[in-house]
Amino acid sequence: MAVPIISGICHVLDEDRDLAESVPLARRGQAAQECIARVVSMPVGGWQNDREEVFTDGVGLLLLGGLLIRRVGIDSRFGAELLGEGDLMRPYGAPPSTLQVTTGWRVLEPARVAVLDEAFAARVTRHPELIGGLVARALQRSRNMSVTTAIVHHARVDVRLHMLLWQLAARWGRVRSDGVSLPLRLTHNVLADLAAASRPTVTSALSELARRGLVEAVDGGWLLHGDPPGELRELAPLPQGLTAKPTADGRRREAI
């Protein structure tokens, strides 16, 4: 079981440049100095999400690096969500439900989180733009989950996986001359959770995608060939330039 360890403090806006850009440049330096938070390191492994002393009330936890998966199950059927750098979460507590819901967390890659506790919340009120930025993070996570929900409703698992990998590439992918690299070590079991399918079915579907030259397992992740599937473009817009082709001047472009 992964045991979180307090590993110091950080200047949140120095760690998260996108969040810093929500503050006007004239006040950004001051905001960076004031917005400090405790940092917690989380090793790979299962994580019991009961409230612990290091996770107090406040805004929540901001993921500074690493990769986590959250699984939610009802009657032995599970859905899952992948969280990475920049995601905001509140893993303690659960919403009321008339159903018996199980929730589990696993750290897939060593993670660092900033604890945005009550003291941080008091400091951030001096910079209201940051409140909007954090709310936007939470809403974006909700939008991503809506797209994933639509994906897993597709009848064919190979189509689900193809769309799912491209959706993840929209956030973490990097364009290379031979395709779009997705540098995430996602096992067949993890992909099965994300695609709401059984592991053997996912293995067969990945073999079919590989046979068609669409997906390739490579060291450290996956390589996607061709263009994103048209079905995914109907669900959510993808970043400009997210194709397997190099830029006009021959340089490789990163998808962000």
pLDDT at 254: 37
Q: 227 and 115 in one domain?
A: no
| Cα 140 to Cα 213: distance, rounded to the nearest angstrom | 31
Q: Is residue 247 part of a domain?
A: no
Q: 100 and 120 in one domain?
A: yes
Block mean pLDDT (10 aa), the chain, length 256? 82 95 94 94 83 70 94 79 93 69 87 93 91 93 91 93 94 92 94 94 97 94 90 61 45 34
What total number of domains does the chain contain?
2
| Cα 253 to Cα 256: distance, rounded to the nearest angstrom | 9
Range of the domain at 206: 154-235
Q: Is residue 223 part of a domain?
A: yes
Q: 133 and 96 in one domain?
A: yes
HEC profile of 97-128: CCCCEEEEEEEEEEEEEEEEEHHHHHHHCCCH
Q: 111 and 165 in one domain?
A: no
Eight-state DSSP code of residue 247? P
Q: 61 and 12 in one domain?
A: yes
DSSP-assigned states of every residue in 61-82: EEEEEEEEEEEEEETTEEEEEE
Question: What distance separates the 2 farthest-apart alpha carbons in the chain?
Answer: 58
Find the CATH number of the domain harbouring 81. 2.60.120.10
pTM: 0.82
